[in-house]
Structure 1
Amino acid sequence: MKKIKLTFISIAVLFTIEISAQSGKLQIGAEFRPRLLIDNGYGTPQLKGESTPLYVTQRTRLNAGFQQDKVESYISLQDVRLWGEDNNYKSSGVYGNTESLSLHQGWVKLNLNKMLSLKIGRQLFAYDDQRIVSARNWNDYQVTYDALLAEFKTSKHRLHIGLSYNAESKSNILFPETKFKSFDFIHYQYKIEKLTLSGIAVVTENTVSDSTENFILRGTYGTNLNYKNKKFNSHISAYYQHNLNDEGGKVSSICLSAFIYYDLVQKLNLGIGLDYLSGNDETSSSTVDNKFDILYGRRHGWYGYMDYFSTTPEQGLQDYMAKLTYNPSDKLDIQLHYHYFLLSSNKYDETNPVEKINKNLGHEIDLKLKWELQKSVNLECGYSIYSMTNTLKQLKKVMGQELKTPQYCYVAITVKPSVLFDLPDKTTVN
């Protein structure tokens, strides 16, 4: 607790020193997001007789942003916890978790002119349909990137170049194979009236193993097309992925997505779409890896809210979906989603290894409500249920067991208070 207090005091002192005798804008904000979950099979099926977990997570953030002339800076500290997981306690009371505080964002942005800027530090990235680069807000921690971002923009064009290079220590150049040693990208967007067209190229580097300096270079390239008018909204995206060097074997995989929204009547619209992620065919003798890696892409929501496919199956994934949205008011949003999942490639049946298994992975229904209670206060509730197949049970390693019907629900409230200060010349904020 003392450590947390000292950290907040240090930040306050830092900003007091930095904005002394300067003019600009200072915005102080916070975020509180407690979320109650009742888990009866979220992520993976549960056995009959197992107790149903009920738990509360909470994300708490303190944010401060400062802007002066051509310089912007932002810092965000966060605490993410389960209620009751504290490791600092005695029989007389609970005092906290000694490792829960972390830096969520910390960056400075130099606006060199009206069109060009440089952003340096820990920051959020989210592009296009967020298939491969996303902030992933369902995750309490989110995904942040230590990187340099160069931004160029005009009224119709926008170009971003992101560069990063990661290390775990000053002296040891080895790096865990499950983390990206580097994550570099270039993103271009062209926007005119109702049409938005964009392209992205991402180059990632991973070590072959934790104990070697050899690395795998992988390229992922994609394009997104979005067209929107008063009643119609369509989105199409396509990605291709391959290895850029000889380490890690040959890779050739694709990800395709198409979605159309249409207003049926006032305040009610229907969307239909398809997602396709290529995978490896067990019945093929090919040595090419066809499984598409979604990198830091969004999981939750794209492939259902149950998150049964946050890790793509080895044989890939097909997702046929329909989404109904009702907006009775500007502050209330009600959504009903349906998903039909299948494997993309062949897999042998574990109960009969000479036969191909049915590709059907089952159905999912998601119901979500979002309600703006007042300015800066939002309530969100959700309920999801999944209908399993034998193929899904084999994938989840629960074949032959008595299982519950997978379902879960949650209630979350998000509060984001903030205050903006205009700072005149030669003013010191205490």
Structure 2
Amino acid sequence: MKKQYGLVILVILSVQLINAQFTLDGQFRPRAEYRNGFQTLIPDAADPGFAINTRARLNAGFTAETFKVYLSIQDLLVWGENPQIIPVDSNNSFAIFEAWAELQLGSGWSTKLGRQVLSYDDQRFFGGLDWAQQGRNHDLAMIKYKKDSFIMDIGLAFNQDLDDNGGPLFGFQNQGTTYPANNPFQYKTMQYLYAKQKWESFSASLLAVNYAHQNFDANGEADGVNSLLTLGSHLNYKKGSFGAAANVFIQSGTFFNGSTDVKGAFLLGLDLSYKASSKLGLGAGIEIISGDDADTNDKTEAFLPTFGTNHKFNGFMDYFYVGNHVNTIGLFDIHASANFKLGKKGSLFAKVLNFSGQQDLPSGENALGTEIDLVYTQGFKGFALKIGYSHLFPADGMYELKGITEELASDTQNWAWAMLIIKPKFLNTANN
């Protein structure tokens, strides 16, 4: 009888797989880093840091005629963090990175529900933050529409915490007490609209995002929310060997601390690209991010690229907008790059960036320095290797900005890393 039950289950699964697709893949990504000035200026008396960590992911997807389901689990393993023979993960890094279902509603409409990655255009405001081993995700409901070369997404999120007993807060007395108010990334609610139209050589998108943080009173009780509105557009032109991309964003509302009004905040960016030959690509660009003029304590003009993949912009050493440089002097970034193709699977990327503040520091200085980024990529059969090196030449303003004198800072501010990327494909029923 048990064999008959097993046979019935096998037949049902076989019928399901005939009309559906199941994929199972993963990622193994160890990265070693040498830090001698990453994100901030290292003092001469401090020793450089060195560490290795690994991202391990397992992804499963199921696609049927009327729905899709996707699950991604991951763990972040810092080499040596777990004591020997202790059967626990000491940093509690094991997590569900993505878990969503997408339902087809007909006539180009669908809805996507659950934990998912938001990544639009060049990832300037919404990005998956893939460089960071933990990545970035959002818990939300999305309404999607797609027809020909037009797409539109409407996202709605409401985040809630658990009570002291680990249960959901169904009552009204504590409803809304979720996340500290001083974290710009942990919002209470969010609503956004994204629309994009493509033409033959040009595309244009519109993004409107309103997200709110929880306010707390003097007793630590929830006391309403404060909202920040961001409006922006990404324009992209590509024809032949020439390309151009522009970002325009403005912000207004209340800063995530709940006590500072945001007025006149903006981000402007322009990047040009040119494919000089089959083995050489060139790029140049400029980005201006508004900063606080510091005339009052309850108002700021500083723009915050809140959910973007900020490591991709303003230098790989992450001196700006990666856990730092929030509500400060802003940024004026001029950069040029070259990408050399080396053989069939190799490349060398080089970029030079010059930084200054959009506003002046208290001393009147605004020059921040120059950074050089190098990334070598080599593909192999089934895996890839990336090696990077970055060097910062700080100006006087950088010492003032980071709170360290030139005499106490190390003469060399640099960062180096190496990363191995393996993405095994375990199963794909569409290929069977």
TM-score, structure 1 normalization:
0.87
| Closer/same/farther in 2, CA of residues 393 and 274 from structure 1, 3 Å limit | same
Q: Is 2:401 aligned against 1:395?
A: yes
Q: Is 2:367 aligned against 1:367?
A: no
Tell me how far apart the structure 2 counterparts of residues 133 and 150 of structure 1 sit (CA, whole Å): 17
Q: Is 2:315 aligned against 1:315?
A: no
Tell me how far apart the structure 2 counterparts of residues 412 and 294 of structure 1 sit (CA, whole Å): 26
Q: Which moved more, 1:219-228 or 1:179-188?
A: 179-188
Tell me how far apart the structure 2 counterparts of residues 17 and 124 of structure 1 sit (CA, whole Å): 35
What is the SS of the residue equivalent to 1:325? Answer: strand
Note the C-alpha offset of 1:69: 1.5
Q: Which of 386, 390, 394 is the aligned partner of 1:384?
A: 390
What is the SS of the residue equivalent to 1:300? Answer: helix
Tell me how far apart the structure 1 counterparts of residues 272 and 371 of structure 2 sit (CA, whole Å): 20
Tell me how far apart the structure 1 counterparts of residues 102 and 279 of structure 2 sit (CA, whole Å): 40
Structure 2 match to 1:8: none
Q: Is 2:421 aligned against 1:411?
A: no
What is the SS of the residue equivalent to 2:329? Answer: coil
Letter of the structure 2 residue corresponding to residue 389 of structure 1: A
What is the SS of the residue equivalent to 2:245? Answer: strand
| Closer/same/farther in 2, CA of residues 266 and 345 from structure 1, 3 Å limit | same
Structure 1 match to 2:115: 122
Q: Unaligned regions of 5+ residues in structure 1, if any?
A: 1-14, 350-355, 425-430
Letter of the structure 2 residue corresponding to residue 306 of structure 1: M
| Closer/same/farther in 2, CA of residues 80 and 288 from structure 1, 3 Å limit | same
Q: Which of 19, 22, 28 is the aligned partner of 2:16?
A: 22
Q: Is 2:211 aligned against 1:204?
A: yes
Structure 2 match to 1:60: 56
Contact 2:41 2:409 in 1 (8 A): no
Letter of the structure 1 residue corresponding to residue 276 of structure 2: L
Q: Which of 73, 76, 79 is the aligned partner of 1:80?
A: 76
Note the C-alpha offset of 1:302: 0.3
Structure 1 match to 2:233: 223
What is the SS of the residue equivalent to 1:208? Answer: strand
| Closer/same/farther in 2, CA of residues 402 and 190 from structure 1, 3 Å limit | closer
Contact 1:45 1:405 in 2 (8 A): no
Structure 1 match to 2:41: 45
Matches within 5 A, 1:93-132: 93=85, 95-98=87-90, 99-113=92-106, 115-132=108-125
Note the C-alpha offset of 1:402: 3.8
Tell me how far apart the structure 2 counterparts of residues 239 and 421 of structure 1 sit (CA, whole Å): 41
Structure 1 match to 2:6: none
The Cα RMSD (Å) is 2.4
Per-residue CA distance 1:226-255 (angstroms, 9 max, x = gap): 00012001001100100179x644312000
Identity %: 26
Contact 2:254 2:261 in 1 (8 A): no
Contact 2:53 2:76 in 1 (8 A): yes
| Closer/same/farther in 2, CA of residues 213 and 21 from structure 1, 3 Å limit | farther
| Closer/same/farther in 2, CA of residues 83 and 286 from structure 1, 3 Å limit | closer
Note the C-alpha offset of 1:17: 12
Q: Is 2:329 aligned against 1:335?
A: no
Tell me how far apart the structure 2 counterparts of residues 17 and 251 of structure 1 sit (CA, whole Å): 61
Tell me how far apart the structure 1 counterparts of residues 11 and 340 of structure 2 sit (CA, whole Å): 49
Higher relative contact order (CA 8 A, sep 6+): 1
